[in-house]
Every structure is written in C-alpha cells, then in structure tokens.
Amino acid sequence: MTNSSGTSTTAPATARPLTGRTAVVTGATSGIGAATAVRLAADGASVALLGRREERLKELADRLRPTATGEILPVPVDLTDSAAVGGAARAVRASLGPADLVVANAGAMLGAPFESADTGEWDRMIDVNLRGLLHTARAFTDDLLTAAAGDRPADLVTVGSVAGHQLYPGWSAYCATKAAVAHLVRNLRAEFGPRGVRVRNVEPGVTVTELGDDMRDAGMRESLAGMRTGITPLAAEDIADAVAYSVAAPRHVNIAELVVVPVQQG
C-alpha cells in the first residue's frame, strides 16, 4: 500500500513483531476488541475474531485482509456457551493452527443502584465477564501450554478494569466481576507461569467504547457519559497499544498487571 506521494506505508517485516503468531481476540465486534485485533494484525499475527455479531466480524475481517500479512478468521460465537466456545477453538485450530496468543476481552458493563438493579443485568455480567472468560481460557489452554513447551511465546491476556480494585457507587456488581477476573488471573499466573505461559490482566480506566450503551438505568448512562466527557478519556486504540506492547516483550518477561488510565483519572 502506498500513500499520496507514492511511498510505501506497509510496515516492513522487522516492524511486525508478532509475525508467525496466532492470536484470538474475543469481543472483536467493537471497542477494545476490534482495536486490539487491528493492532495485532498490523504487527503480523494471524488473528481469529470472536464475537456474537457475525456481520461486524465479517466487516472487520474484510477491512483487515488487504494489509494483513497473517490470516484473518471471523468466528461468530456466544462466549457464555461452553460447547460453542469449544467449537470456536476447534475452528480456529483447523484454519489457523493452535493459538499462542489469546486476548479475552469480551465484557458487559451495566450499572444501577444496588437496591433497584435489574438482577438479569447482574446475571449477564457474570455470564460474560466471568463465565465467558473462563470458557475462553479453558478452550485454548492446551494450545498455550503446547506453545510454551515448544519454547515459543504463549500469552493469555484478560481485559479487566480498574473497577476491580477501586470504588464506584452504583457499579457494585460490575466491580465484583472485575475483581474476580483480577484474582483469577493472579492464580492462573501462578499455575501457568512455571510452565512458560505468560498470563496478564490489562485494566483500563475511563475509556470510550460501546460498553454501557445498553444499560437499563438512564441515570447511570448519564453518569457514564459524564465520566467520559469530564476528562480526556482513553480510546480503544490506547488499550490495544498496551496489549501489543505487553505481548511483544521478550519471552522471559511478563508484564503481569497493566493499569492504563487517563492522566486526569490519577
């Protein structure tokens, strides 16, 4: 690809640190997931795009393929269905080979005062933020362990939130799911690290994405909008950059917990 002056804008091979790697990104239909898929593909990885909205996955795949040096595979899947996630893992393996880089990003963020919250929203966050992550990690664990045993890089990256260790009134159930993710990752790191798999949790602060758009509580939607306009927030691409930086580190280095916040958030 060239720019208006005729100069090539395609990154040289030396600028593609993930060449030869096979990545899986969940929640790839929008926001941080889509941005991460774009960045990993730009860095040379073959990328499997996992998410519920098939049309969006296909659109993203079509956008990435012209400049990608690796393969791009859209895989529609409901991550709360363990059998479906297992099927998605088999589809990835059949088309791209075993995964050695998994970004478990899919999530739901639904706030409301505890006493008036729709408990169905609690169930959804538990299903997506925790159960979906568990199913994803389990489905690709054997691939990651095999890569590490073969002296190759192997990364399991979860996208948590600073809400896992900070206080946000009205977001108690969401915060609880992210706290669970943070401690799950710490324990998986202790379990898989000695076998060569790097496990890390990337925790964004205030970031502009679609998260929260479907909250039932109008007051909390307004509160979230205020958080995002009251400071200069992060963009999804900022988190994608952090993920890409962490997985491109030397194989013996694990950036175990990465908190990424707007400067004004402190």
Residues belonging to the active site: 174
Structure tokens at 14: 């030396």
Query: What is the CA 95 to chain-centroid distance, rounded?
Result: 21
In the 8-state DSSP scheme, what is residue 12? P
Structure tokens at 78: 């409901």
On whether the CB atoms of residues 220 and 213 are closer than 8 A, the answer is no
Nearest Cα to 109, choosing from 157, 184, 161? Answer: 161
On whether the CB atoms of residues 202 and 182 are closer than 8 A, the answer is no
Residue type, 179: A
Return the bridge partners of 47, or none: 23, 72
